[in-house]
Chain A
Amino acid sequence: MKTLKVIWISLFDSLRDLLPIILIIGFFQFAVLQQPIPNFGEIVLGIAFVVIGLALFVQGLNLGLFPIGETMAYAFASKGSIFWLLCFAFALGFGTTIAEPALIAVANEAAIVAANGDMIENSEQSLASYAQGLRITVAVSVGIAIMIGVFRIVMGWPIQYLILIGYIGVVIMTVFAPREIIGIAYDSGGVTTGTITVPLVTALGVGLASSIEGRNPMVDGFGLIAFASLTPMIFVMGYGMVV
């Protein structure tokens, strides 16, 4: 009986999270565009899927992803090897980004922009190799970002100084980067951190900050995602300048 209650509550919570989108799309469809909803049955089924999916995801977070991140943070802290911790941070950043579907889409669009701006040859092969190079660049930059972020947690540095350096980096690169690439570079910061990466990386950071003496999980534990959204901007503009 208790399980059934948990299921109902989590389904209800998901439906509540989804309600704003449903209301807004409904409002614009009926009141502004004044059109009927096409394929009503399909849409109801789709919404049911989204609600079920979100409820399963939240259960899985607390059961799986958060404990994985925390357990590994404690294990690294007790092992005391900063070298392996940084290796893990880089691998996690790189590995989660290289397969990110949103990044693949952005890289392909960037290749088209580059070809239109006569930065590269407009052939299928050069487009593919440009997109591939960009994906690797962004993945390396996220790997470096998580590594720097983890090092910051270990050292207990205030985050704002590092972010300030990052902002200055973005501004300087903006001055020198080709105009065509700037929009994509700025957007690439937002698309790199996927739905599985975020909970894992957050739990890792908070776990590290809780297990290292003198660190506060609230002040020091967060901030890994912030680095992961800043370095791709710098690296993509750099890629645009070099290639």
Chain B
Amino acid sequence: MEWWCNSIVLQIFADLVLTIAVTVWDVLPIVVIIFGFQLFILRKPFPNLKNIITGFLLVLLGLGFFLEGLEAALFPLGKLMAQQLTDPAFIAGDDVGRILEWWDYQWVYLFAFAIGFSTTIAEPSLLAVAIKANQVSAGSIGVWGLRIAVAIGVAIGIALGVYRIISGTPLYWYIITGYVFVLIQTMFAPRSIIALAYDSGGVTTSIVTVPLVAALGLGLANTVPGRNPLLDGFGLIAFASLFPIMSVLAYAQLSEWIARRSKKAPA
């Protein structure tokens, strides 16, 4: 049982090297732009150049490991799971062949909610923004508070997006209603959170969330009767980028309200 000389394990390590190489290749334009501007326009050397290069290399190496690990462990299982859960044979249970209604998909909704929440917590871009927001706000915005608020938003968004695919209602109704909600919330939210809330919409859908959520959307659009995978499989990412805006604004309003209430209360 020498598992380490097992060919699958060797394959994973070979893929790791390849993934790191691809990450380096993808990042090349950014490096050229940054050093081009730094050398020719700003004409200033970077202070701590050694640290910066070490940091950059750590990011590349880290992303390589991260992506390869996801490919080897979580994506195959998660994608297979999305397929199995959306399979009509699984949803109908013992009563094969009956017509499925939207409430028959309860496991799919639960899976959508849970996978939206958990992939968002693991999303490195969101972690980066949360760390920065924590530094800038001098600690008044917690790294975990923000991440959980965003994750709840994504979870609700994806669950609702799944309902939309199953019910076949037009995507733009939801998105435009969402916009109206965001604008109303903006009027009442504390000023300092608004830009961060808008940002959290864009950062959540990245390397962990997109592949799993796309598999879920595609699985549903393929198996729900009357859906066209090319037209109806899309839209989950849009939900996942819209709902965190609302949940972060709500989180800010809630924490402001709690702070005000505890101030009013006699010491």
A-side interface residues toward B, CB under 8 Å? 17-18, 20-21, 23-25, 27-29, 32-33, 37-39, 41-68, 71-72, 75-76, 79, 84, 87-88, 91-92, 95-96, 98-102, 109, 112-113, 116, 158-160, 163-164, 167, 170-171, 174, 179-180, 182-184, 186-187, 189-200, 202-203, 206, 216-226, 228-229
Does B230 sit at the interface, judged by CB under 8 A?
Answer: yes
Tell me the bound Cα distance from A52 to B67 in angstroms.
11
Q: How large is the interface on B (under 10, 10 to 19, 20 to 34, 35 or more residues)?
A: 35 or more
Secondary structure dominating the interface of B: helix
The residues of A that contact B114 with a CB separation of less than 8 Å are 24, 27-28
Q: Is the pair B124, A187 in contact by a Cβ cutoff of 8 Å?
A: no
Does B74 sit at the interface, judged by CB under 8 A?
Answer: yes
> Given contacts A50-B69, A183-B232, is CB(A228)–CB(B137) below 8 Å?
no
The residues of A that contact B30 with a CB separation of less than 8 Å are 92, 95-96, 196-197, 200
Does B262 sit at the interface, judged by CB under 8 A?
Answer: no
> Given contacts A159-B194, A226-B201, is CB(A25)–CB(B58) below 8 Å?
no
Does B169 sit at the interface, judged by CB under 8 A?
Answer: no
The residues of B that contact A53 with a CB separation of less than 8 Å are 61-69
Q: Is the pair A42, B183 in contact by a Cβ cutoff of 8 Å?
A: no
Residues of B180-231 at the interface with A, using a CB-CB cut-off of 8 Å, are 182-183, 186, 191-192, 194-196, 198-199, 201-208, 210, 230-231
Does B94 sit at the interface, judged by CB under 8 A?
Answer: no
Does B121 sit at the interface, judged by CB under 8 A?
Answer: yes
Does B171 sit at the interface, judged by CB under 8 A?
Answer: yes
Q: Is the pair B107, A186 in contact by a Cβ cutoff of 8 Å?
A: no
> B223-267: contact bitstring with A at CB < 8 Å (1 yes, 0 no)?
000000011111111101100000000000000000000000000
Task: List the B residue with the shortest CB-CB distance to A39.
Answer: B8
Q: Is the pair A45, B192 in contact by a Cβ cutoff of 8 Å?
A: no
Closest-CB distance, A185 to chain B (whole angstroms): 9
Q: Is the pair A171, B176 in contact by a Cβ cutoff of 8 Å?
A: yes
Task: List the B residue with the shortest CB-CB distance to A112.
Answer: B230
Q: Is the pair B61, A49 in contact by a Cβ cutoff of 8 Å?
A: no
Closest-CB distance, B235 to chain A (whole angstroms): 5
Tell me the bound Cα distance from A223 to B130 in angstroms.
14
Q: Is the pair A72, B132 in contact by a Cβ cutoff of 8 Å?
A: no
Q: Is the pair A65, B132 in contact by a Cβ cutoff of 8 Å?
A: no
Q: Is the pair A41, B6 in contact by a Cβ cutoff of 8 Å?
A: yes
30 contacts between A and B (CB under 8 A): A25-B74, A27-B114, A29-B81, A46-B72, A50-B74, A53-B62, A54-B62, A56-B58, A57-B62, A60-B61, A72-B38, A88-B33, A95-B33, A158-B194, A159-B194, A163-B198, A167-B179, A179-B231, A183-B231, A183-B234, A186-B175, A195-B63, A196-B30, A206-B132, A218-B133, A223-B195, A223-B198, A224-B199, A225-B202, A226-B198
Tell me the bound Cα distance from A170 to B74 in angstroms.
35
Q: Is the pair A202, B132 in contact by a Cβ cutoff of 8 Å?
A: yes
Does B166 sit at the interface, judged by CB under 8 A?
Answer: no
Task: List the A residue with the shortest CB-CB distance to B235.
Answer: A183
Task: List the B residue with the shortest CB-CB distance to A206.
Answer: B136
Does B159 sit at the interface, judged by CB under 8 A?
Answer: no
